[in-house]
């Protein structure tokens, strides 16, 4: 009763965050974003990472050129493309050529498997479509590639014309495809519809995969149903990103397989990374996180009801389906919002600060809590956290510099085609002498940075080598329009050191200024470049 | 193959948004909120609405007093409570008394069904718990109530001690409960675990219901699996609100049943209300809406990839699992860097613009591509897209206003604890007369907005009612530090219309200004508020 199936000999988790996930409305990934997300997927323990469509757009082409530097630990990179065009030759298809030169061992090509899509969307014959599949797979295999085929609209196609859908899979298999991935491209399937179609397809004998979308709210359940019916390769995306309603969320899938099916699909350490991976990828992709996301969401282990709270004190397991630390998440009582003393002490240890004193740790914890309620986030901003601790210890009474005032002026005259004029003034005191300098920039924060650098340089010439390498802005309550609270994060680099500071406020310039001046303060306190 | 089960004679949809949904982190419903949400649930066609726990808190007690004025059309109201306390009498239990006086025909009480919860959380004996169930049900039936029993932690309980879990259901049934609702309270179940447990429980002969949480990402699929196994009553919440990861989302459930199972669980009109109900409830509950929500989400029928766009023009059904108008949603074409002329033409059609001219569509497509290379994104910014098209057609030669200049000044003196002073000046010409106004704000964009509003008001008093409801900032090349390109998106609302504009530049204020002035330009061109 309530038994799990036996784990198949092989089971592959295939991440398509960078290709299908990037189709999500509002998602725009730069090359650096893509490289950073690939590292996260690798850290989570997926078997394959689909990086994009080389040859179809310059970022994706460049991604494959740069990917070898990533040094992925376990994931294999896959280049995505399509079958050759109708009425042409595989050997003359520039996109198939680009797949050959992308430098991956694996390639995945999408093929039409639904007869109506062949005739109406592709506008070719059913036979030519089969020839396109066969030719393209053979061409890639002939170039030494291990080939996967995404059978697009497979399930809808099977329901319309099962013989043809099966023929597409058979053709791909006979041409040398290792895996044929059955795609519910429109996402309209239900779990109880999956089994029969998968069983009928299994008879072909090629390894089957599944690729689900969430349009019926069942992407994950459909993937599990397909797996229960014999599929051994599952595609999805981190956080379920994707076109329309998104793809199967790999974070939930992996946790379900590992903790519910009790199949070791990743290592316990990789599973323990999952909450961090989910949130880091959301940060990189600039997507809001869903507090309700299973396993990794901020509320996934949050308890509110009075009904439960007293029982929770007796036995955590009574009201939690798993131990939240297994996926790197925390149990969360909603009365208090975050960071207890223990967390603060662990964090301090990581940063090489002694927070073993209970009172000090408690004081910092309550400050962090207070400031987080205002919108600060210290998870990534280690430098601001360290400044907060040092300040609490009284170590910042004697600062390298102190601000007197700053101002910014931005003006645009005439045609909006011309750039606005931006100027900033910074007045401060450093090593006992007052400094006032003006700076120009192509934006207010850039101008403030120029002025601040100039004002610091007489006392601290080393700031010349501090480089602002990262600037992020997050509007915290977007629905308050231009009156919303803004969180700014600035990354600064000196030689091999990089540190991050945070600023918060209703005024984006003020928040930026806070992060900016703290960035210099931190570098100077650390003595970066002081000996040169 | 892929057959649906036969529709059971009765099938009840039970809405617990107001009780279990309200447990969601950050949700605080007033009495008026609750009354308004009950009307929405009724409009969506649910059979039962659980309004809260009368006697346990004053808002819920008052809710039942006021509910009769709502004039619910089809839904029956249910009062929620619990079995009597251990070691007391049902007739002396004030909360059971409150259920009797709440004025509903139906009541639902929660009972423990998991042996460890009885002994550890309730701290009573297994026999006393059975007595509590029997007594409470009999008491309520004796007072003329139709009784439902929520068997809490039923599935986990069944897996630990099936005999006891079954005994709780049998006891409730024998005491006169009409329906026993099997609750996956911790939300940890998987679909393939449901069938056997439901089947074993069916032998008792009472009507069974199911209540699922989404902790394994399977609330909906578990509900469907339970239904496939014979359950005829399904509980859930609008938009899946609820503690931790939430409950079964009734919007998806109803749409799946109606459109995929092809069971008429609501009327076509009620189904057509669904998108509106979902968004209205989100508004009332002050919860962010998920663009990716199945059926009703803003992106649920959004198409981005160029791969699909040309085919969409041929046949909508090729790339949509259902007709979006069935649930009151729209197809949505995302303009993106993958867009060709076909996308542009479909988008134009949706916005009521004639882009059938191939040259014009081609010209717009190439402009969009060019601007997207600079960082613009039109997929959400329909208003900016429309302005671009109208400009290309020469329709903007005579604008409602033209800018002369603007400037912003921000200053901070003394302690950084004080707010910075922010002032903006806007000079423009509207209906032939020059206007110059100054505005203050808590940030530069807010100040610019104040000044721009004041400058437009003499000519266009209607701008007073335009509200900036959304402000988003995305740094496009974050690794260029404060020198990066910034994309700003502004959402503006007038009455029931909301439109989105976009601005891009190295200068965040300039980018914001572009989105801001286009927001007013668009509203004025559309004549929003002009007749008032």
Which tokens is B132 given?
A: 């509590």
Out of B4, B422, B491, the one facing A507 most closely (by C-beta) is: B422
Chain centre to alpha carbon of residue A506 = 27
Q: What is the mean pLDDT of residues A388-406?
A: 90
Q: Which helix (H) or strand (E) holds A429?
A: strand A421-430
Closest C-alpha among B146, B76, B150 to residue B109:
B150
Is A446 close to B477, i.e. CB distance below 8 A? Answer: no
**In Å, how far are A31, A33, A184, B236, B371 from A307, measured between CA atoms?**
49, 44, 41, 19, 55
Is A190 close to B260, i.e. CB distance below 8 A? Answer: yes
A338 has a pLDDT exceeding 50: no
Closest C-alpha among A473, A528, A518 to residue A383:
A518
Confidence of residue A306 (pLDDT cuts 50, 70, 90): very low
Is B196 close to A1, i.e. CB distance below 8 A? Answer: yes
Q: Let me know: does A12 contact A78? Beta carbons within 8 Å.
A: no
State the Cα–Cα distance between residues B121 and B156, nearest whole angstrom.
Answer: 15
Out of B186, B322, B508, the one facing A321 most closely (by C-beta) is: B186
End residue of a domain, out of A234, A254, A285: A285
DSSP A335: T
Q: How many domains does chain A have?
A: 2
- Which pLDDT score, from 0 to 100, does residue B197 have? 97
Structure-token match 């679909």, residue found: B191
Structure-token match 């999408």, residue found: A110
Out of B23, B246, B322, the one facing A305 most closely (by C-beta) is: B23
Chain A and chain B share a number of CB contacts under 8 A equal to 390
A96 has a pLDDT exceeding 70: yes
Would A245 be classed as within a structural domain? yes
Instruction: Examine the domain organization and report whether B357 and B405 are in the same domain.
Output: no
State the Cα–Cα distance between residues A112 and A443, nearest whole angstrom.
Answer: 49
Would B342 be classed as within a structural domain? yes
Out of A2, A245, A321, the one facing B187 most closely (by C-beta) is: A321
pLDDT tens-digit readout, A485-532: 888 888 898 887 889 899 998 889 999 999 999 999 999 999 999 876
* A200 chain-B contacts, CB cut-off 8 A: 1
Using CA coordinates, name the residue in chain B closest to A256. Answer: B216
Is B217 close to A220, i.e. CB distance below 8 A? Answer: yes
Residue among B316, B343, B482, B484 with most chain A CBs within 10 A, to mutate? B482
Q: What is the mean pLDDT of residues A438-446?
A: 91
A393 has a pLDDT exceeding 60: yes
Would A455 be classed as within a structural domain? yes
End residue of a domain, out of A285, A320, A348: A285
How far away is chain B from the Cα of A447, in angstroms, using its nearest Cα?
9
* B185 chain-A contacts, CB cut-off 8 A: 319
Would B192 be classed as within a structural domain? yes
Chain centre to alpha carbon of residue B196 = 33
Q: Which residues does residue B233 pair with via DSSP β-bridges, in sequence order?
A: B12, B209
SS (H, E, C) B24-38: CCCCCCCHHHHHHHH
Is A510 close to B290, i.e. CB distance below 8 A? Answer: no
pLDDT tens-digit readout, A263-299: 999 999 999 999 999 988 988 887 878 889 999 998 8
Out of B121, B243, B474, the one facing A305 most closely (by C-beta) is: B243
pLDDT tens-digit readout, B239-253: 999 999 999 999 999
Find the angle CA(B509)-CA(B514)-CA(B520) to the nearest 5 degrees.
120
Would A358 be classed as within a structural domain? no
Is B303 close to A244, i.e. CB distance below 8 A? Answer: yes
Burial class (CB in 10 A: 0-12, 13-18, 19+), A526: middle
Task: For residue B447, give the CATH number of its domain.
Answer: 3.30.160.270
State the Cα–Cα distance between residues B487 and B461, nearest whole angstrom.
Answer: 29
Confidence of residue A187 (pLDDT cuts 50, 70, 90): very high
Would A440 be classed as within a structural domain? yes
Out of B301, B414, B486, the one facing A244 most closely (by C-beta) is: B301
Q: Kindly report the average pLDDT of chain A as a whole number.
A: 89
- Which pLDDT score, from 0 to 100, does residue A178 have? 98
Q: What is the mean pLDDT of residues A335-347?
A: 54
Phi-psi region of B394 (alpha: psi -120 to 50; beta: other; left: phi over 0): left
Would A359 be classed as within a structural domain? no
State the Cα–Cα distance between residues B436 and A98, nearest whole angstrom.
Answer: 57
- Which pLDDT score, from 0 to 100, does residue A313 have? 53
DSSP B428-452: EEETTEEEEEEEE-SSHHHHHHHHH
Is A311 close to B224, i.e. CB distance below 8 A? Answer: no
- Which pLDDT score, from 0 to 100, does residue B370 have? 81
Q: Which helix (H) or strand (E) holds A157?
A: helix A154-160
**In Å, how far are A82, A106, A109, A253, A254 from A181, measured between CA atoms?**
13, 14, 10, 17, 18
Is A24 close to B292, i.e. CB distance below 8 A? Answer: yes
State the Cα–Cα distance between residues A206 and A204, nearest whole angstrom.
Answer: 6
Q: Which residues does residue A435 pair with via DSSP β-bridges, in sequence order?
A: A428
State the Cα–Cα distance between residues B346 and B332, nearest whole angstrom.
Answer: 9
How far away is chain A from the Cα of B481, in angstroms, using its nearest Cα?
4
Main-chain dihedrals φ then ψ at residue A173, nearest 5 degrees: -65, -45
Instruction: Examine the domain organization and report whether B432 and B491 are in the same domain.
Output: yes
End residue of a domain, out of B239, B254, B285: B285
3-class DSSP state for residue A141?
helix
Instruction: Examine the domain organization and report whether B413 and B356 are in the same domain.
Output: no
Q: What is the mean pLDDT of residues A398-413?
A: 92
Is B507 close to A422, i.e. CB distance below 8 A? Answer: yes
Instruction: Examine the domain organization and report whether B425 and B364 are in the same domain.
Output: no
Percent share of chain A, pLDDT over 70: 92
State the Cα–Cα distance between residues B195 and B202, nearest whole angstrom.
Answer: 10
Is B482 close to A472, i.e. CB distance below 8 A? Answer: no
Is A510 close to B293, i.e. CB distance below 8 A? Answer: no
Out of A26, A30, A481, the one facing B477 most closely (by C-beta) is: A30
Using CA coordinates, name the residue in chain A closest to B468. Answer: A481
State the Cα–Cα distance between residues B16 and B7, nearest whole angstrom.
Answer: 23
Out of B190, B290, B482, the one facing A445 most closely (by C-beta) is: B482
CB burial string A455-485: b at 16+ within 10 A, e below: bbeebbebbeebebebbbbbbeebeebbebb
A199 has a pLDDT exceeding 90: yes
Is B446 close to A482, i.e. CB distance below 8 A? Answer: yes
Residue among A310, A507, A511, A518 with most chain B CBs within 10 A, to mutate? A507
State the Cα–Cα distance between residues B523 and B458, nearest whole angstrom.
Answer: 16
How far away is chain A from the Cα of B103, in angstroms, using its nearest Cα?
24
Residue among B245, B295, B419 with most chain A CBs within 10 A, to mutate? B245
Q: Let me know: does A238 contact A41? Beta carbons within 8 Å.
A: yes
Out of B246, B260, B411, the one facing A292 most closely (by C-beta) is: B246
Instruction: Examine the domain organization and report whether B445 and B518 are in the same domain.
Output: yes
* A448 chain-B contacts, CB cut-off 8 A: 482
Instruction: Examine the domain organization and report whether B317 and B426 are in the same domain.
Output: no
How far away is chain A from the Cα of B363, in angstroms, using its nearest Cα?
20
Is A478 close to B471, i.e. CB distance below 8 A? Answer: yes
3-class DSSP state for residue A434?
strand
Percent share of chain A, pLDDT over 90: 64
* A253 chain-B contacts, CB cut-off 8 A: 217
Instruction: Examine the domain organization and report whether B309 and B409 are in the same domain.
Output: no
Dihedral of the alpha carbons of A115, A121, A123, A125, in degrees to the nearest 10: -10
Is B297 close to A484, i.e. CB distance below 8 A? Answer: no
Q: Let me know: does A463 contact A457? Beta carbons within 8 Å.
A: yes
Domain that residue B412 falls in:
401-525
How far away is chain A from the Cα of B320, in angstroms, using its nearest Cα?
6
Instruction: Examine the domain organization and report whether B219 and B350 are in the same domain.
Output: no
DSSP B66: H
Out of A321, A419, A486, the one facing B216 most closely (by C-beta) is: A321
Task: For residue B241, give the CATH number of its domain.
Answer: 3.20.20.70
Is B409 close to A408, i.e. CB distance below 8 A? Answer: yes
Burial class (CB in 10 A: 0-12, 13-18, 19+), B180: buried
Instruction: Examine the domain organization and report whether B313 and B272 are in the same domain.
Output: no
How far away is chain B from the Cα of A42, in angstroms, using its nearest Cα?
22
State the Cα–Cα distance between residues A250 and A240, nearest whole angstrom.
Answer: 7
* A129 chain-B contacts, CB cut-off 8 A: none
- Which pLDDT score, from 0 to 100, does residue A489 have? 87
Low-confidence ranges of chain B (pLDDT < 50): 1, 337-338
* A291 chain-B contacts, CB cut-off 8 A: 25-26
Instruction: Examine the domain organization and report whether B425 and B337 are in the same domain.
Output: no
Out of A192, A414, A475, the one facing B472 most closely (by C-beta) is: A475
How far away is chain A from the Cα of B377, in angstroms, using its nearest Cα?
8
What is the model's pTM? 0.74
Higher-confidence position of B34 and A58: B34
Higher-confidence position of A116 and B442: A116
pLDDT tens-digit readout, A8-29: 889 999 999 999 999 998 788 8
Instruction: Examine the domain organization and report whether A265 and A405 are in the same domain.
Output: no
How far away is chain B from the Cα of A206, in angstroms, using its nearest Cα?
22
Q: Which residues does B308 contact at the CB level (< 8 Å), separation at least 6?
A: B319
Residue among B21, B216, B445 with most chain A CBs within 10 A, to mutate? B216
Q: Let me know: does B327 contact B295? Beta carbons within 8 Å.
A: yes
Is A482 close to B468, i.e. CB distance below 8 A? Answer: yes
Is A321 close to B190, i.e. CB distance below 8 A? Answer: no
Q: Which helix (H) or strand (E) holds A413?
A: strand A401-413
Is A243 close to B1, i.e. CB distance below 8 A? Answer: no
- Which pLDDT score, from 0 to 100, does residue A334 have? 38
Q: Which residues does residue B180 pair with via DSSP β-bridges, in sequence order?
A: B149, B208
Q: Let me know: does A387 contact A371? Beta carbons within 8 Å.
A: no
State the Cα–Cα distance between residues B49 and B12, nearest whole angstrom.
Answer: 11
Would A459 be classed as within a structural domain? yes
Instruction: Examine the domain organization and report whether B145 and B75 are in the same domain.
Output: yes
């Amino acid at each position: 009763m309530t038994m799990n199936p036996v784990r198949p000999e092989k089971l592959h988790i295939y991440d398509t965050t960078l290709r299908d996930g990037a189709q999500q409305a509002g998602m725009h990934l730069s090359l650096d974003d893509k490289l950073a997300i690939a590292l996260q997927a690798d850290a989570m323990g997926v078997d394959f990472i689909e990086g994009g469509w080389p040859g179809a757009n310059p970022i994706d082409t460049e991604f494959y050129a740069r990917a070898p530097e990533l040094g992925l630990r376990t994931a294999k990179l896959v280049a995505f493309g399509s079958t050759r065009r109708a009425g042409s030759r595989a050997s003359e298809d520039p996109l198939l050529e680009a797949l050959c030169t992308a430098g991956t061992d694996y390639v995945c090509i999408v093929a039409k498997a639904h007869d109506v899509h062949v005739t109406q969307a592709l506008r070719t014959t059913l036979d030519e479509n089969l020839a396109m599949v066969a030719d393209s797979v053979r061409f890639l295999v002939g170039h030494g590639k291990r080939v996967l085929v995404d059978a697009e609209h497979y399930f809808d196609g099977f329901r319309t014309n099962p013989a043809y859908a099966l023929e597409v899979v058979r053709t791909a298999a006979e041409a040398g495809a290792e895996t044929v991935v059955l795609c519910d491209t429109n996402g309209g399937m239900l779990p109880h519809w999956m089994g029969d179609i998968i069983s009928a397809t299994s008879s072909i004998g090629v390894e089957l995969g599944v690729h689900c979308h969430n349009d019926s709210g069942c992407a994950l359940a459909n993937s599990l149903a397909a797996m229960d019916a014999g599929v051994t390769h599952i595609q999805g995306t981190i956080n379920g990103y994707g076109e329309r309603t998104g793809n199967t969320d790999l974070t939930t899938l992996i946790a379900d397989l590992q903790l519910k099916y009790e199949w070791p699909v990743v290592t316990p350490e990789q599973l323990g990374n999952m909450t961090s991976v989910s949130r880091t990828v959301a940060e990189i992709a600039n997507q809001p996180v869903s507090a309700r996301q299973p396993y990794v969401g901020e509320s996934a282990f949050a308890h509110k009801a009075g009904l439960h709270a007293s029982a929770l004190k007796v036995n955590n397991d009574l009201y939690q389906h798993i131990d939240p630390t297994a996926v790197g998440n925390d149990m969360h009582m909603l009365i208090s919002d975050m960071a207890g003393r223990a967390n603060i002490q662990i964090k301090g240890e990581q940063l090489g600060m002694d927070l073993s004193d209970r009172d000090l740790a408690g004081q910092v914890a309550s400050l962090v809590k207070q400031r987080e309620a205002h919108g600060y986030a210290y998870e990534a901003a280690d430098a601001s956290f360290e400044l907060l601790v040092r300040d609490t210890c009284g170590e910042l009474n004697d600062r390298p510099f102190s601000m007197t005032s700053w101002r910014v002026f931005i003006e645009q005259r005439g045609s909006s085609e011309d750039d606005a004029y931006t100027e900033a003034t910074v007045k401060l005191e450093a090593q006992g002498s007052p400094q006032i300098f003006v700076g120009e920039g192509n934006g207010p924060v850039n101008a403030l940075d120029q002025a601040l650098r100039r004002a610091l340089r007489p006392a601290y010439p080393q700031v010349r080598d501090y480089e602002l390498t990262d600037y992020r802005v997050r509007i915290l309550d977007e629905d308050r329009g231009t009156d919303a609270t803004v969180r700014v994060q600035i990354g600064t680099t000196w030689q091999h050191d990089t540190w991050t500071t945070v600023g918060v406020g209703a005024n984006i310039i003020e928040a930026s200024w806070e992060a900016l001046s703290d960035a210099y303060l931190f570098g100077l306190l650390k003595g970066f470049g002081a000996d040169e």
